Amino acid sequence: MNTIELKRVANVLRQDIISMLVTSKSGHPGGSLSAAEIVTTLFFNEMKIKPQDPRWADRDRFVLSKGHAAPVLYAALAEKGYFPKEELQWLRQTGHMLQGHPDMKKTPGVDMSTGSLGQGLSAANGMALAGKLDGKDYRVFVLLGDGEMAEGQVWEAAMAAAHYKLDNVTAVLDLNGLQIDGSTDSVMCSTPLTEKWRSFCWNVIEVDGHDVEALLAAFAEAKQCKGKPSIIIAKTVKGKGVSFMENQAGWHGNAPSVEQGEQALKELRKEALSLG
């Protein structure tokens, strides 16, 4: 898929995120919108996957450690054909498969159940260790949040990934700068993150997380790096693509009303038109 097509997919994912949250009246828009390009480049370019065979043993894995961004994952999985798009309207509804946070037992294409922050990188490391043991060349991707950097387990796992030289692990840090109670700097300052990850012996790549070309280049660089894990620190805007949601902590976990949803979709459709 070329970069224009990837940008179009990211736009479609954003529209789907808004639509499903309006319908479910519940969910997390801010951190889903910020990760649209990251998830798009992974699922539509970087990852070796077979939507018709979600449990394919040699597939690349994806762990959404910031599990509250489930809507962007579900939108990508539906767009990729793991399940019909109609399922998206049943997000967070009783008896349906799209749980509030990813559930590997219920949703095809979800490789790990997540949602409790801080646990995703450990699981990704486990999958990567298994891959090395089995002599398989699959890679494991994990999407972390910046608020999540306050969880001690992230750093336990960071240490272990470097110790076991897990160059088949690529983490992406969705650095959108906001968490529920405000800016990450005000709630619990985790900077300097680049230096922290470097000091944990990771290969660190910094990019603009909305720049598709830059993301593709970063994934290519991560793939080339041997002997240690890579992390792509992707600077993003929380709520990206919807003017009234951008950089607003209040849109972390609140669903838009029907009217707000229409406004958001109007903006996103306008952006789609500009992409041609």
State how far the alpha carbon of 110 is from the alpha carbons of 16, 232, 257, in Å: 18, 21, 28
With respect to other proteins, which residue has the nearer C-beta, 15 or 119?
119
Q: Which is nearest to 144 in space by CA: 129, 164, 163, 161?
A: 161
With respect to other proteins, which residue has the nearer C-beta, 97 or 129?
129
The token pair that represents 56 in the structure block: 């394919």
Q: Figure out which of the listed residues 71, 131, 239, 261 binds other proteins, where binding follows CB under 8 A.
A: 131
* Under rule CB under 8 A, residue 103 binds other proteins: yes
* Under rule CB under 8 A, residue 116 binds other proteins: yes
Q: Which stretch binds other proteins (CB under 8 A): 39-47, 88-96, 115-123, 252-260?
A: 115-123
* Under rule CB under 8 A, residue 144 binds other proteins: no
Residues in region 247-266 near other proteins by CB under 8 A? none
Count of residues touching other proteins (by CB under 8 A): 34
Q: How far apart are CA 188 and CA 222, in angstroms?
A: 28
* Under rule CB under 8 A, residue 168 binds other proteins: no
With respect to other proteins, which residue has the nearer C-beta, 7 or 59?
59
DSSP H or E run through 174: strand 169-175
Q: Which stretch binds other proteins (CB under 8 A): 68-76, 79-87, 131-139, 263-271?
A: 131-139
Beta pairing, strands 169-175 & 178-179: unpaired
Q: Which amino acid is at 7?
A: K
Q: Figure out which of the listed residues 25, 137, 159, 181 binds other proteins, where binding follows CB under 8 A.
A: 159
The answer to whether the CB of 136 falls within 8 A of the CB of 57 is: yes
Quote the distance between the C-alpha of residue 127 and its chain's center. 18
* Under rule CB under 8 A, residue 226 binds other proteins: no
Q: What's the closest the beta carbon of residue 197 comes to other proteins, in angstroms?
A: 16
Q: Figure out which of the listed residues 15, 23, 119, 176 binds other proteins, where binding follows CB under 8 A.
A: 119
Q: How far apart are CA 135 and CA 133, in angstroms?
A: 6
Beta pairing, strands 230-235 & 203-208: parallel
Interface residues with other proteins (CB under 8 A) are 57, 61, 63, 103-105, 111-113, 115-116, 118-119, 121-131, 133-134, 152-153, 156-157, 159-160, 163-164
